[in-house]
Amino acid sequence: MTLLDILPSLRAAMTPRLDPALWPATTHVDERGRITVGGVALADVADHFGTPAYVLDESDVRHRCRTYRDTFPEAEIAYAAKALLTRAVARWVTEEGLSLDVCSAGELETALSAGADPRRIILHGNAKTSADLSAARAAGVGRIVVDSHTEITLLAASGRGRQNVLVRVTPDVGVRTHRALTTGVHDQKFGFPISGGHAEDALRRVLGQPRLNLIGLHCHLGSQITDPAPFATAIDRLVGTMAQVRHDHGTILTQLNIGGGHGISYTTGDPALDPSTLAATVEDALDDACARHRFPRPRVTLEPGRAIVGRAGVTVYRVLSVKRIEGARTFVCVDGGMSDNPRVARYGARYGVAVANRHSTAPATVVTVAGRHCEAGDELAVDVSLPADLRPGDVLAVPVTGAYHHSMASSYNAVPRPPVVAVAHGVPRELVRRETVTDLLRRDVGA
pLDDT band at 9 (very low <50, low <70, confident <90, very high): very low
The answer on whether 109 is annotated among ligand-binding residues is: no
Tell me if residue 374 is catalytic: yes
CB neighbour list of residue 127: distance below 8 Å, 6 or more residues apart: 147, 148, 189
The answer on whether 306 is annotated among ligand-binding residues is: yes
The answer on whether 208 is annotated among ligand-binding residues is: no
Residue 182 has what pLDDT? 52
pLDDT at 11 over 70: no
pLDDT-above-70 percentage for the chain? 93
Helix residue ranges per DSSP H, 100-228: 105-113, 130-139, 149-157, 198-207
Q: Work out whether the CA dihedral 195, 230, 184, 295 comes out positive or negative.
A: negative
Residue 151 has what pLDDT? 94
pLDDT at 159 over 50: yes
pLDDT band at 286 (very low <50, low <70, confident <90, very high): very high
Q: What is the Cα–Cα distance from 183 to 237, expressed in whole angstroms? A: 16
Q: What is the Cα–Cα distance from 447 to 48, expressed in whole angstroms? A: 34
Q: What share of the chain is helix, strand, coil (3-state, %, to 5)?
A: 35, 25, 45
pLDDT at 110 over 70: yes
> Which candidate, 81, 180, 26, 48, places its Cα nearest to that of 406?
81
Q: What is the Cα–Cα distance from 260 to 165, expressed in whole angstroms? A: 19
What Rg value do the Cα atoms of the chain yield, rounded?
24
The answer on whether 266 is annotated among ligand-binding residues is: no
Residue 176 has what pLDDT? 64
pLDDT at 292 over 70: yes
The 3-state secondary structure of 157-181, one letter per residue: HCCCCCEEEEEEEECCCCCCCCCCE
Where are the domains positioned within the chain? 11-56+311-442, 58-307
Over residues 281-297, mean pLDDT: 97
pLDDT at 7 over 50: no
Residue 177 has what pLDDT? 55
**Catalytic residue (choose from 103, 219, 333, 374):** 374
pLDDT band at 190 (very low <50, low <70, confident <90, very high): confident
Residue 12 has what pLDDT? 40
pLDDT band at 10 (very low <50, low <70, confident <90, very high): very low
The answer on whether 404 is annotated among ligand-binding residues is: yes
Q: Which of 173-182, 190-199, 295-304, 317-326 has the lowest mean pLDDT?
A: 173-182
pLDDT at 5 over 50: no
pLDDT band at 275 (very low <50, low <70, confident <90, very high): very high
Over residues 90-110, mean pLDDT: 98
Phi, psi of 181 (to 5 degrees): -110, 130
Residue 4 has what pLDDT? 43
Amino acid at 106: G
Q: Can you identify the CATH homologous superfamily of domain 58-307? A: Alanine racemase (3.20.20.10)
The answer on whether 299 is annotated among ligand-binding residues is: no
CB neighbour list of residue 265: distance below 8 Å, 6 or more residues apart: 21, 22, 271, 272, 311, 400
The second-level CATH assignment, the architecture, of 11-56+311-442 is: Beta Barrel (2.40)
Over residues 280-294, mean pLDDT: 97
The answer on whether 375 is annotated among ligand-binding residues is: yes
pLDDT at 124 over 50: yes
pLDDT tens track for 194-252: 988 999 999 999 999 999 999 999 999 999 999 999 999 999 999 999 999 999 999 99
Tell me if domain 11-56+311-442 and domain 58-307 are identical in fold: no
pTM for the full model? 0.93
Residue 30 has what pLDDT? 96
